[in-house]
A and B are shown apart, each in its own frame.
Chain A
Amino acid sequence: MDAIRTDSLTKYYGKRRGIEHIDLTVRQGDFFGFIGPNGAGKSTTIRTLLGLIRPSGGKAQILGLDTIKEREKILARVGYLPSEVSFYPGMRVKDILKLSADLRRRDCGKTSRLLCERLRLDTTRKAEELSFGNRKKTAIVCALQHEPELLILDEPTSGLDPLMQREFFEILRERNQEGTTIFLSSHILSEIQHNCTNAAMIKDGTIIAKGSIAELSRTGAKRVSICGFVDFGSLAGVKDPHSTPGSVDFLYNGNMNALLQTLSKGDIQDITVTEPELEEVFLHYYERGGGGI
């Protein structure tokens, strides 16, 4: 059984496109990344999966259950962290966490306390006194305290300082090792690359690439960094070059023999050849709308 499965999922806001024909499969136990810039349709996809908005076409299943007909059963087994967090004014953090647990008819006190300790969240503060980061932490505890089978996280780290981001991903990795499926939506590629095993890229409401992080990063091109002086002349396949005095850095997808011959004529102190960062692949997808580098 898949944790998430969508079949041609489509949402239009009147005539305006939200998402179009999204086909997505997330296996149970996966740490899945959902990449796309603002306005690409990430939040619309998530909101449709959670039943906050009704699809204009297609269908979706979460944990084998229909997202429209069996919404409550799904939500009992899912934890959701929204990108923008708002709470009821006048309530203290501990009351918000209690309300969330009560709505689930669960006693989450022990897990809630552990999470608050790890995230250093003061539960006596009132909602309107909370900084953006502390609102986010409260929402993280709400999403995790009932130990859901699937976590849907929409831009989870915005507002968290680097230390808290590290602790948060540590918690996510632990949960993932215990069997929790994690669906992480983000425009921060390093988050996806360092934590996820599989990912999908969304652009203008449609999925433009999906697969394992290794597959998505594999393009045939290499990132070449050189310390020294080389005259590339008219060498074909050099892209995105960045030169500083005494060094040059570029993407190369041309003939390797031609590159080696050119380099052999130069004065080189050091050379590094690596796979390009996912970010470079991602930027390529958004600039050209797909295809190889």
Chain B
Amino acid sequence: MTIVKHELRQGKTAFLIWTAAISFLLMICIFLFPEMRGDMDAMGELFASMGSFTAAFGMDRLNIGTLIGFYAVECGNILGLGGAFFASLAGASILSKEEREKTAEFLLTHPVSRARVVTEKLAALLIQITVMDLMILAFSLLSMRLIGEDIPWKEVMLLHGAYFLLQLESAGACFGISAFLRRSGIGIGIGLSAMMYFLNLIANMTDHGKFLKYITPFGYCEGADIIAEGRLNAGYIAVGILFACVGIAAAYWRYSKKDIH
């Protein structure tokens, strides 16, 4: 547990900044909802006339005049992108930073196996993501209460569950990449998350691109699908879990035999 505690301490500032930023933006959005609801009819017509753009964000199938419709579109983007960025950044740097900052020599000349280093760093990553999601969920629910709305529990929990899985998948895949890197994984983490986000927009805009939903974790986070079907897409999630497992397995395989310079 020594490395877990050490990692949590080292990542504390980044964790607090990302959690506060995402929670703050989500709360702002929720607080704006009562004011915007009155204008939603006109806005709905405007969005409906924007063609592919409307489809890209799932607004052709969501009623943004309801709290859950508004939450799925506006807050979904904040939580989806923000959470994916944090998970990818943390995942892509947690192993590689030791070599980049030249602390690997300190850590790996202590009597700890490489497998233990990988396991404890992975545990720290999962703890950070879980605590962050719980805190964001708590702030969201609190904000919905504060604006006097009934909380659509099932849909909110499904949406947050999907974004939690998205973050686990992103973190798992980037964790694998991190084991291969000697330099910063920040560019790779952000780039990969942004690419996955845009792949989902493309998949939403065209029927030919629907297969992309199996590749991008944003595929199973589509608010319009989750609210319409009342469940998550098990097929997309199974592929996502597979990606995460491959990433984690690659991290163990690579890091256990990697030369540390």
Contacts and interface: CB of A to CB of B under 8 A. Distances in A.
A107 interface: no
Interface stretch (A2-10, A48-56, A238-246): A48-56
Contacts of B6: 88, 99
Nearest to A106: B111
Contact of B109 (A52, A87, A89): A52
Contacts of A228: none
A71 B111 CA distance: 8
Contacts of B259: 52-54
B111 A75 contact: yes
A51 B107 CA distance: 12
A85 B104 CA distance: 11
A86 B109 contact: no
A99 B104 CA distance: 14
A284 interface: no
Interface string B216-257: 000000000000000000000000000000000000000001
A104 B105 contact: no
Interface string A102-113: 111000000000
A88 B103 contact: yes
A135 to B, nearest CB: 11
Interface in B106-154: 106-113
B101 interface: yes
Nearest to B109: A80
B157 interface: no
A50 to B, nearest CB: 5
Given A52-B260, A53-B259, A90-B10, A103 B103 contact: no
A103 B101 contact: no
A100 B108 CA distance: 11
Interface residues of B, number: 21
Q: Which of A72, A76, A102, A103 has the most CB of B within 10 A?
A: A103
Interface in B93-109: 101-109
A167 interface: no
A84 B102 contact: yes
Contacts of B109: 50, 52, 75, 78, 80, 82
Given A54-B257, A103-B2, A87 B106 contact: yes
Given A90-B10, A99-B2, A102-B2, A52 B105 contact: yes
Interface string B1-16: 0110010001000000
A74 B108 CA distance: 12
A73 interface: yes
Contact of A100 (B102, B104, B110, B113): B110
Contacts of A103: 2-3, 107, 110-112
Interface string A35-52: 000000000000100111
Contacts of B2: 99, 102-103
B10 A88 contact: yes
Nearest to B5: A102
B202 to A, nearest CB: 40
A71 B257 CA distance: 12
Contacts of B108: 51-52
A76 B103 contact: no
A117 to B, nearest CB: 23
Interface of B: 2-3, 6, 10, 101-113, 257, 259-261
Given A74-B111, A88-B10, 6 more contacts: A47-B260, A51-B108, A87-B103, A100-B106, A100-B110, A103-B110
Interface of A: 47, 50-54, 71-76, 78, 80, 82, 84-90, 99-100, 102-104, 142
3 smallest CB-CB distances across A and B, nearest first, come from: A86-B102, A76-B111, A103-B110
